[in-house]
Structure 1
Amino acid sequence: MDLFEKIGEVAKNLSEKAGDSLEINRLNGEISIEKGNIQCYQRELGEYYWAKFATGEKLDDEAMLICDKIVVSQDRMRALDLQIEKIKSEREQILEERTKGKELFVQSDQPEPNLDGQPTSSVKNIFDEDLPEEKIVRPLFCYNCGGGIKEGQRFCIFCGAETK
């Protein structure tokens, strides 16, 4: 067999393998579609039996056990949703308190008392009388999560929210 015949045979084999591979992939795709169809039919079947259960119809023992598991999961989801709402509510309260404290601290034009109880002329004097206003560092908090942020920081390092 000469070189060109060998090359031709190898090319033919590769071509046949490629064709077989394409056909196998096409058939596997059709199998995947049928698997998806089966999942849809199973979901429809489940919805059918769930509707019967929800209306109080008596099902066989195995179906009743499955429906009971669903009810337990639904109850658990409701409890988890309540926990989420509680956490959000607590976080909002903390943020409001921090924001109020920050506003009072930063925006206050009233003289602040010093350690002796005597009023000072401004908040900056509590820290250092020699610092110009632009050099005073005031605490900043993220409006989204309440995490501490630095002056000039564009995004919160805790939640990723853009700072204002």
Structure 2
Amino acid sequence: MSATFCPDCGNRLVEAERAGKTRKTCGECAFVEYRNPAVGVAVVLRDEAGRVLMGRRATGIYAGLWCIPCGYVEWDEDVRDAAVREFEEETGVRVELGGVVAVHSNFHNRDKQTVGIWFEGITRDGEPHPIDGEFTELDWFGPETPPELAFPTDGLVLGELAGSRDQSTAPARLSGQ
């Protein structure tokens, strides 16, 4: 979605080399058009056996594939508030957030790159069920045996969780992340 005219002064943008990349710039006011990733958030909710709640996507290019419930941070919204909101909208479960489980850059969709933040979730209210049309179903999966995933970075997160498991039945917490 590249602009033709400068949003600050209205002059035509031209392509120029800046910091090793070609970017559109304005020769009049020095505006530089940057293409930045969006911020996505996800909540890792685990049951007593350490399994992770996941949803089967209902629509789009990832329909039928599974993911950790996730969504985008909206303008003027705190990342933690966005994670709680998105999780409740998609699963019907109100959570309290624990620590950050993982942060990864998502490059699987060239046109819609994101930086994802996965938070630990603790159930406060509700029973999991798909409610906003994002998922056709929800189910629990061991992090070491995930279903077919929509997003490669969910695989990284699940792999990290599988590697951190101890022999207890308490939900895992990753320290130092």
TM-score range relative to shorter protein: under 0.3
- Of structures 1 and 2, the one scoring higher in RCO (CA 8 A, sep 6+) is 2
Name the TM-score, length of structure 2 as normaliser: 0.19
- Name the one with the larger helix percent: 1
Structure showing greater radius of gyration is 1
Name the TM-score, length of structure 1 as normaliser: 0.20
- Name the one with the larger strand percent: 2
